[in-house]
Amino acid sequence: MSRPQTQIERTLSLHATEAPGRPVEPEEFVEVEVDRLVLLDMAATHPEFLAHLPRRVHRPERVAWVFDHLVPAPTVELASGLVKLRELAARWGITSVFDIGRGGISHPLMAEKGWVRPGEILANTDSHTCAAGALGCAGRGVGMLEVMSILSTGRTWFRVGETVRASLSGHLAPGVAGKDVFLSLAGEFGAIPGRNIEFAGDGIAGLPIPTRQAIATMCAEISAEFALFPPDARALDYVRARVPADEPLAPVRADPDASYAAEWRVDLSGVEPLVALPNRVARNVRLVSEVAGVTITRAVVGSCANGTIEDLEAVANVLRGRRVHPGVVFTVTPTTSDVMAEAARRGLIDTIVAAGALVTSPTCGACFGGHMGVLGDGEVCVTSTTRNFQGRMGSPNAKIYLASSATVAASAVAGCLADPRGLEGKRP
């Protein structure tokens, strides 16, 4: 009898370059074939990349290049970097270039464009690539140097980590979001460097794909290696609608008797709006109601985790018929061009702008303190982006609270941290 495999163990085992299909075990290192690779515009800022270009690219049709962090380019140097990357893509035969105005933030964008497929291995430089796990795809951020290696060879390695199972039951209450589910896990269980997380339980079926994406994306903040949802009917429907009909999917599931290093249980019905206090995420989480009233100067909705149509809808539902507090600057960043177009069609952008908030083009800008609204000294920000680290969004003397988009919008109206429940008109 071969050892029962978790979803991630099975996925890695099937991609192994040696003896594919042989069961793998925690602590083992496995060399694997990578199905798809995503490069970012950040490549232009890497100290080694442009100086040591790969001579040729392995399977350029399986490589996407996404411009998301430095767009629209805030400096001449960065704009010139993008010029070089466009030339390189053409030279290497990479045709899937998602340029300004035709793309968005890589993780949600790749899912939207059918590049995130269950059972596959997706590599990207960026840490939040675990977002792909929402669709049962083993996505992993591997850094620029490893991406240079994968560009050349099509292969990489992973250390098989132990896996934690997070069993979800029940239904989310109105005004409570995927971000709150993640924060409840991060607050209670803390970081799990080197380990994976697999979601299970009958609570999953009721979670829309953007909610799952928010949860999987945020698992980077507990240092999870992979964060996988099972490829259920809802996930498969989402993917099939985006993948050419003649390309079969090969979803991978955990064996029913697979063993896990730990079992976390979450009753979704009991999750309340939460906030991570400044500077760290893991074990630094409070109920919004406990910190309500803290004065804020900035509110941000966006990022790979929380700029989806679900987020913009939650924001619009709070802002409809209300005004952003005069002491608050509120910026809202849709994740992708398609999300922006959809939000415009549904009138969400009208509602948000009419309330006195700024809607920006899709970009990572503010989330990593790069551009498009960095924080100044002494500012206090509540954000639905991914990180609250000191200095993350600009000045090291600013404070960052992390919360759901609904909580951010409610706080933007109140001028201080505020619970969104009761303010949100209707759930999408």
One symbol per residue from 223 to 242: x for binding another protein (CB under 8 A), - otherwise; what is it? x-x-----------------
Minimum distance from residue 311 beta carbon to another protein (Å): 21
Minimum distance from residue 336 beta carbon to ligand SF4 (Å): 11
* Tokens (6 digits) for 173: 């209450």
Q: What does each C-alpha distance from 64 to 38, 130, 228, 266 come to in angstroms? A: 5, 17, 22, 36
Minimum distance from residue 219 beta carbon to ligand SF4 (Å): 12
Return the one option of another protein, ligand SF4, none that residue 105 interacts with (CB less than 5 to 8 A, by type): ligand SF4
* Tokens (6 digits) for 290: 């406990």
Return the one option of another protein, ligand SF4, none that residue 148 interacts with (CB less than 5 to 8 A, by type): another protein
Q: Give dist(CA 417, CA 397) in Å, integer.
A: 19
Nearer to another protein by Cβ, of 104 and 141: the residue is 141
Can you name the residues that pair with 394 across neighbouring β-strands? 375
Can you name the residues that pair with 73 across neighbouring β-strands? none
Long-range contacts made by residues 26-32, C-beta under 8 angstroms, separation at least 24?
A: 26/160, 26/161, 26/162, 26/163, 26/261, 27/159, 27/160, 28/159, 28/160, 29/157, 29/158, 29/159, 29/160, 30/157, 30/158, 30/160, 31/155, 31/156, 31/157, 32/121, 32/155, 32/156, 32/157, 32/158
DSSP notation for 258-315: ---SEEEEEEGGG---EEEPTT--TT-EEEHHHHTT-B-SEEEE-HHHH-SHHHHHHH
One symbol per residue from 373 to 392: x for binding another protein (CB under 8 A), - otherwise; what is it? --------------x-xxxx
Among 23, 50, 149, 249, binds another protein (CB under 8 A): 149
Nearer to ligand SF4 by Cβ, of 164 and 364: the residue is 364
Minimum distance from residue 335 beta carbon to ligand SF4 (Å): 8
Return the one option of another protein, ligand SF4, none that residue 113 interacts with (CB less than 5 to 8 A, by type): none
Minimum distance from residue 29 beta carbon to another protein (Å): 6
CA atoms within 13 A on the CB side of 219: 33
Is residue 46 near another protein by the rule CB under 8 A?
Answer: yes
Positions in the binding site for ligand SF4 (CB under 6 A): 69, 105, 126, 128, 303-304, 364, 367-368, 385-386
Site for another protein in 265-294 (CB under 8 A): 280, 282
Give the number of other CB atoms < 10 A from CB of residue 95: 12
Return the one option of ligand SF4, another protein, none that residue 396 interacts with (CB less than 5 to 8 A, by type): another protein
Report the interface residues with another protein, using CB under 8 A.
29, 42, 45-48, 52-55, 70, 75, 77-78, 125-127, 141-146, 148-149, 152-153, 157, 159, 161, 191, 193-194, 221, 223, 225, 280, 282, 368-370, 387, 389-392, 394, 396
